[in-house]
Amino acid sequence: MQITVTVNGDEHTADVEPRLLLVHFLRDTLGLTGTHWGCDTSNCGVCVVWLDGTPVKSCTVLAVMADGRTVRTVEGLADGATLDPVQQGFVQCHGLQCGFCTPGMMMTARWLLDRNPDPSENEIREAISGQACRCTGYENIVRSVQWAAVNKS
Ligand code: FES
Ligand code: FES
């Protein structure tokens, strides 16, 4: 099937298998490997991207379901050379260890802060509750999001 998806502002048209998952379309067809792939079963949350402005686990979405829609990935988070405050927060507060969960965490954090600029610790933890950090770095992930809330761009 031919699909056209706008990813981080750029329109991409490709022929894809109907069964291709969005995470694999992003990584393998478009080469956007910032979106990670951990389980394929909706458990780990490392594959979170925005679909029409809402975070989704991209292993639960077929690429054909994104036809005609917009996707934002971690590659679209920075504004040119200027990191998003969420990215800066992860740097400042050591919000990553191995980095496997980090892109998905940052996409959810940006979405949360866009809707709730001053979230409580519980609200941050609830927002990322569907995403696993194998390094168990949740303390610093929460601190990173709090840093971004204080240091808005
Ligand atoms: S790869 Fe999507 S939830 Fe694990
Ligand atoms: S930093 Fe390693 S999985 Fe989260």
Q: Residue 87 above 90 pLDDT?
A: yes
User: What tokens were used for 4?
Assistant: 């056209």
CA 22 – CA 149 distance, rounded (Å): 30
99 neighbors 36 (Cβ within 8 angstroms): no
Check if 88 has its Cβ closer than 6 Å to any atom of ligand 2: no
Query: What is the b/e burial string over 106-129, where b = at least 16 CB atoms within 10 angstroms of the residue's CB?
Result: bbbbbbbbeeeeebeeeebeebbe
Q: What is the pTM of this model?
A: 0.97
CA 14 – CA 63 distance, rounded (Å): 10
CB atoms within 10 A of CB 151: 12
CA 62 – CA 101 distance, rounded (Å): 21
Confidence of residue 14 (pLDDT cuts 50, 70, 90): very high
Check if 134 has its Cβ closer than 6 Å to any atom of ligand 2: yes
Check if 133 has its Cβ closer than 6 Å to any atom of ligand 2: yes
Measured in whole angstroms, the distance separating CA 15 from the mean position of its chain's CA atoms is 24
Nearest to 57 by CA among 134, 120, 116, 132: 132
The per-residue pLDDT for range 25-48, each reduced to its tens digit, is 999 999 999 999 999 799 999 999
How remote is the CA of residue 151 from the centroid of ligand 2, in Å? 23
Average pLDDT over all residues of the chain: 97
**Of the bound ligands, which one is closest to the alpha carbon of residue 38?**
1
Domains annotated on the chain, with CATH: 2-76 (3.10.20.30), 85-151 (1.10.150.120)
Residue 40 has what pLDDT?
A: 79
Q: Whose CA is nearest to atom 4 of ligand 2?
A: 133
Check if 23 has its Cβ closer than 6 Å to any atom of ligand 2: no
Residue 24 has what pLDDT?
A: 98
Residue 137 has what pLDDT?
A: 85
Average pLDDT over residues 120-131: 98
Question: How many angstroms separate the most distant Cα atoms in the chain?
Answer: 45
How remote is the CA of residue 48 from the centroid of ligand 1, in Å? 8
CA 110 – CA 152 distance, rounded (Å): 11
Confidence of residue 136 (pLDDT cuts 50, 70, 90): confident
